[in-house]
Amino acid sequence: MTQEATTQPLKAALCILSAMAMLGCIDNFVYRISEEIGLWQMQAVRSVLALVLIGALSALGYGTLRPKRLSTAALRSAFVATSMLLYFGSLAFLPIAQSLAGLFTSPIWVLVLSAVALGMPIGPARIGAVVLGFTGTLMVLQPDPANLSLVTVMPVAAGLLYALGALATRRWCLEETTLCLLAGFMAILGLWGVLGLAALTVFPQAVPPGPDGFLVRGWVPMSPAIWGFVLVQAVGSVIGVGLIIKAYQLGETATVAVFEYAIILFASFFAFLFFGQLLNGLAMGGVVLVIAAGSLIALRGRTEVA
């Protein structure tokens, strides 16, 4: 039985925008991490650190870790965790622009699944806003069609799984605490990390130096700097993902999903702040479209009843 919820669009928007700012900042450190350790080790260590923090927050009274419905909470966590694993895994094969373009098909998947599978009415304004936002995303990321291949399925599949996780959060997990869902997400990511490390121990691979070895690198010693970067990732992920979960519990799925485009704006800002990277004219045009799409969704959220 699906529980009806009171939609709070302004609170949901604040949560998702705060999450995108946090994640847009800490994701700039992933490249530095990939220079020394692998994807699987990063996920395993980060998840352990995050779960310790989540456990401490629960002990302090910020929410229970016990799910009310284990099956649906676990399925939701599996969708989102596997989505993130596929996205990061695709970075070993594709330029980050192509991977992000695939991942950001998630709002399109949300609309398709909402309309087809759930029978929810989706107005033309929201469809147009998502198309506008996705177009802006492509302009910002500028993927090269000449380099597309079957590997592109990985980030697109990540977008689909992320959309399923978003819908599951709203449809099945309204009674779950944010800490419960966050713990499930981190636990499954950590499990993927342990399984990956185990597989590479049994079947070791030739590891290219630097970021090129991110996907096939097994366990290696971690320098103090890398421990620091992974700790920042763990704490930032707990805050950011927790805010995402809360946003999907407070707001309509299709509306919240479009606001996730804001991560491009925040990531671009922090890339400029940390590395001096600037957007070109086409990318700036894309930023304008993303802002227009978000504004349109926000206005429609005030005048429509979800």
pLDDT in tens, 22-53: 988 888 888 788 889 999 999 999 999 999 99
- Position 111 scores a pLDDT of 73
Q: Decide: helix, strand or coil at residue 105.
A: coil
If pLDDT is split at 50, 70 and 90, which confidence band does 231 have?
Answer: very high
- Position 80 scores a pLDDT of 93
Section 2-31 average pLDDT: 81
Q: What count of residues does the chain have?
A: 306
- Position 230 scores a pLDDT of 94
- Gap between the Cα atoms of 52 and 182, Å rounded: 12
- Position 76 scores a pLDDT of 93
Check pLDDT > 60 for residue 4. Answer: no
- Position 149 scores a pLDDT of 66
Q: What is the pLDDT of residues 172-188, one digit of tens each?
A: 887 888 889 989 999 99
* Largest separation between any pair of C-alpha atoms in the chain: 58
- Position 5 scores a pLDDT of 53
239: exposed, middle or buried (C-beta count within 10 Å: 0-12, 13-18, 19+)? middle
- Position 306 scores a pLDDT of 39
Nearest one of 113, 106, 243, 83 to 163, comparing CA atoms? 106
- Position 19 scores a pLDDT of 93
Q: What is the pLDDT of residues 243-266, one digit of tens each?
A: 888 888 888 776 787 788 788 778
Nearest one of 268, 255, 247, 79 to 159, comparing CA atoms? 79
Check pLDDT > 50 for residue 236. Answer: yes
pTM of the prediction? 0.79
- Position 1 scores a pLDDT of 39
From residue 105, how far is each of 98, 108, 149, 152, 200 by CA, in Å? 11, 5, 17, 12, 31
- Position 259 scores a pLDDT of 82
- Gap between the Cα atoms of 176 and 247, Å rounded: 13
Quote the percentage of the chain above a pLDDT of 90: 33
Contacts of 195 (CB under 8 A, 6+ apart): 40
Nearest one of 78, 4, 15, 1 to 255, comparing CA atoms? 15
- Gap between the Cα atoms of 30 and 281, Å rounded: 26
Give me the chain's average pLDDT, please: 83
Section 158-174 average pLDDT: 86
- Position 3 scores a pLDDT of 44
Section 157-167 average pLDDT: 88
- Position 224 scores a pLDDT of 95
Do 293 and 299 meet the contact criterion of CB atoms below 8 Å apart?
A: no
Do 284 and 136 meet the contact criterion of CB atoms below 8 Å apart?
A: no
Q: What is the pLDDT of residues 103-149, one digit of tens each?
A: 877 777 877 787 777 677 777 887 887 788 788 877 876 767 776 66
Check pLDDT > 90 for residue 74. Answer: yes
Residue 41 has a CB neighbour count (10 Å cut-off) of: 24
If pLDDT is split at 50, 70 and 90, which confidence band does 54 have?
Answer: very high
Structure tokens at 63: 């929410």
